Structure 1
Amino acid sequence: MMRTATVLAGALALVGCGSSEEAQAPAAKPIQGEKLTVARTTVPQSKPLAAEIATRDQAEAMVRIPGTLVDLRVNEGDWVKRGERIGRVVDNRIGHETGALAAQVAAATAQAEAARAELERIQYLYDRGVYAKARLDQAQAAARAAAAQVRAAQQQQSASASVAGQGVILAPATGRVLRADVPQGSVVSPGMSVATVTAGPPLLRLDVPQALADQVKPGARVTIHDASELDGRQGTIVQLYPAVQGGRVRADAEVPGLNADLVGRRVSVTLDVGTRDGIVVPRKFVSTRFGTDYVTVIDKDGKATSVPVQTAPVAGSATVEILSGVSAGDVIVAESAGR
């Protein structure tokens, strides 16, 4: 009996000791730092596209007569003014035609002079009663016909000379020459372009996939992404062309600071195409370890857990969109928070 009492006393002593140690265990350290309750919000949606720096219009310097391009005074990159002579086309056949018409004018002039002389002789004799009135009328008609033939020949000669003058090629607009690749000595035909000149202010021309055409509206934001001084510049869509070519719709955007010297340059852009629901948080709530993004989530019991997430940058802000890993209502804490 004495032995049993001793065992019970030892057991009670051990239980009392354990309770004392539990009571003296330190409480869990509260999580400190900036917290954020995740919520869904409106996220701007953008699409990457390719664009080209162009001008509102491009004027073509075209040939008006067939012949040989004997002179082209401009090269790519040159600045020209509207109406400036930039080339000349010669058609030797026109020169021969003009010479033949000049001979016809001379022949008609000679015939007219002979008809006038005949009219003067008949008029003299008619006044003295030698010829009848019918003979005089006949001579007058012949003189008028000869004079009309002279005028007709002169008009034909002038028309031929004016056609020869159409061989001069003039700049159709004031701007920079984009293309002038027809070599001198080439045989050209009417309507053929020998040079392309910029016309109007520079702008950004986009080829938008037809599937996105309904989502693109005038005023939509365009951002340039290029390893140059143009990187980060923003503009807005000002015109959407109502036609589909090759599965794409053309759109023009005005971007401040574009230079006509860069016409034809290709750049990468992002185009805003509306909004959608998503989860957006400041970048400081996301940490990256070994190529994987993590956020620290606090559960209902106050325990912090590092959760891997998939993120996407939000253009033009210091926030990121969380695509997966957390949901609305979760509480996250900034990376610098202590635990």
Structure 2
Amino acid sequence: MAARPYLIGALGAALLLGACGETKPTLPVAKSAPMVGRLAIRSQLIADLKPVPGALTTRDMAEARARISGLLVSLEVKEGDFVRQGQLIARVKDDRLALQTGAFDAQTAAAAAEAARARADLARTRTLFNQGVYAQARLDQVDAQAKAAEANLAAARAQRDASAELGAQGAILAPAAGRVLIANVPVGSVVMAGQSVARITAGPMVVRIELPEGQARALKVGDVVQLAAEDLRGIAAAGTIIQVYPSVTAGQVTADITAPGLPQDLIGQRVRAGVKVGERQALVAPRAYVSTRFGVDYVRLVRADGAVSETPVQTTAGPTADTLEILSGLRPGDVLTPAGAIR
């Protein structure tokens, strides 16, 4: 037991000597960013975009309306069909028009018989006048009766043609070439003159938006509008204002936007649009200078001593497809190096 303190002291001395002989690990030194590719962030003037809901539609909507009242006896189209201008869509029938046309036919036949008799009387009277049997007054009287009979015949024929044309107006034709959106009047229904039987798209496809009249003053024909590509199946991401309607409805101003390759299968589909309503100062960086990990955006910030540190930033879509707007995390004058340049 007496030797145990000496043993412990010897072991402690050995451990102390061993510790003094170990080499300390060196700390990593931060790498410096290369001069090539450095970007100084500056505040710049960009368009102030306002998110606005829009709808995919056509420039015009054509209504196929009944021109006469009657019974809908046929409907030749259904929703989704493409029609050409002048194509038969439906037919309306009014039995009274057929009876009326028959009555006018009888009146026309009677007027034709009366006109034929008057022509024959005029021919006989003229022959007897030349032989000295009738006086000039008799000839003039018969001639006037013949002219009156011819006029009555012309009037009867016009009435008959008008009645026949009215019956032919039961055919409802497509007013424009396009796609049938609504055709929900069942066959056998009673329709009135002017009632819509089908609605047809007309004109090119557009995205129609509405803005409050105070903000709509900034809208101009030719301005570029950002469209949500995910709402258009990635077909178009930018459009152009082609018309700003001059009327104000319930405090809203309507404008039409066109873009190449707009889909035509779903009329009325909602589309998000970013409309320029002014300009503002913002920090903009190329996408190549921003990296994303686990849903967080980072930039490589070059410090004053040349070392690089990763800084989280908040971003949103920039004025162009290859840029991002920095909402927070940087200040004007900060220097960045491209993402992935330093490892």
Hey, what's the Cα distance between the residues in 2 that align with 1:148 and 1:318?
81
User: For residues 278-328 of structure 1, what are the alpha-carbon distances to aligned partners after superposition, in whole Å with 9 as ceiling and x for unaligned?
Assistant: 223456777889988787878879999998865544254454434456543
Deviation at 1:157, TM superposition (A): 0.7
Which of 250, 271, 275 aligns to 1:271? It is 275
Hey, what's the Cα distance between the residues in 2 that align with 1:80 and 1:130?
71
Hey, what's the Cα distance between the residues in 2 that align with 1:302 and 1:125?
130
Q: Let me know the Cα RMSD of the aligned residues.
A: 3.7
Matched to 2:179, the amino acid is R
Question: Is the counterpart of residue 245 in structure 1 residue 249 in structure 2?
Answer: yes
Structure-1 residue corresponding to 2:103: 100
Hey, what's the Cα distance between the residues in 2 that align with 1:46 and 1:54?
22
- Identity over aligned residues, as a percent? 45
Deviates more, 1:116-125 or 1:28-37: 28-37
Hey, what's the Cα distance between the residues in 2 that align with 1:36 and 1:259?
40
- TM-score normalised by length of structure 1: 0.75
Deviates more, 1:296-305 or 1:129-138: 296-305
Deviates more, 1:150-159 or 1:310-319: 310-319
Structure-1 residue corresponding to 2:32: 32
Hey, what's the Cα distance between the residues in 1 that align with 2:287 and 2:142?
106
Change in Cα spacing, 1:211 to 1:143, as seen in structure 2 (3 Å) is same
User: For residues 319-339 of structure 1, what are the alpha-carbon distances to aligned partners after superposition, in whole Å with 9 as ceiling and x for unaligned?
Assistant: 44344565434567888799x
Structure-2 residue corresponding to 1:16: none
Structure-1 residue corresponding to 2:12: none
Hey, what's the Cα distance between the residues in 2 that align with 1:287 and 1:257?
32
Deviation at 1:238, TM superposition (A): 2.0
Verify the 8 A CA contact 1:226 1:268 in the aligned structure 2.
no
Verify the 8 A CA contact 1:40 1:279 in the aligned structure 2.
yes
User: For residues 193-237 of structure 1, what are the alpha-carbon distances to aligned partners after superposition, in whole Å with 9 as ceiling and x for unaligned?
Assistant: 222222233222222332321222223233224256236532222
Verify the 8 A CA contact 1:224 1:231 in the aligned structure 2.
no
- TM-score normalised by length of structure 2: 0.74
Structure-1 residue corresponding to 2:10: none
Which of 318, 329, 332 aligns to 1:328? It is 332
Verify the 8 A CA contact 2:224 2:238 in the aligned structure 1.
no
Verify the 8 A CA contact 1:42 1:277 in the aligned structure 2.
yes
Structure-2 residue corresponding to 1:47: 50
Change in Cα spacing, 1:89 to 1:130, as seen in structure 2 (3 Å) is same
* Aligned positions of 1:274-289 closer than 5 A: 274-282=278-286
Hey, what's the Cα distance between the residues in 1 that align with 2:293 and 2:129?
123
Hey, what's the Cα distance between the residues in 2 that align with 1:282 and 1:82?
50
Verify the 8 A CA contact 1:210 1:248 in the aligned structure 2.
yes
Question: Is the counterpart of residue 222 in structure 1 residue 233 in structure 2?
Answer: no
Change in Cα spacing, 1:320 to 1:91, as seen in structure 2 (3 Å) is same
User: For residues 46-86 of structure 1, what are the alpha-carbon distances to aligned partners after superposition, in whole Å with 9 as ceiling and x for unaligned?
Assistant: 22222222223332222222222222201111111112112
Deviates more, 1:258-267 or 1:110-119: 110-119
Change in Cα spacing, 1:216 to 1:144, as seen in structure 2 (3 Å) is closer
Change in Cα spacing, 1:32 to 1:97, as seen in structure 2 (3 Å) is same
Hey, what's the Cα distance between the residues in 1 that align with 2:195 and 2:294?
61
Deviation at 1:123, TM superposition (A): 4.7
Question: Is the counterpart of residue 187 in structure 1 residue 197 in structure 2?
Answer: no
Question: Is the counterpart of residue 169 in structure 1 residue 172 in structure 2?
Answer: yes
Verify the 8 A CA contact 2:226 2:238 in the aligned structure 1.
yes
Question: Secondary structure of 1:269's match?
Answer: strand
Matched to 1:203, the amino acid is V
Question: Is the counterpart of residue 255 in structure 1 residue 224 in structure 2?
Answer: no
Change in Cα spacing, 1:124 to 1:333, as seen in structure 2 (3 Å) is closer
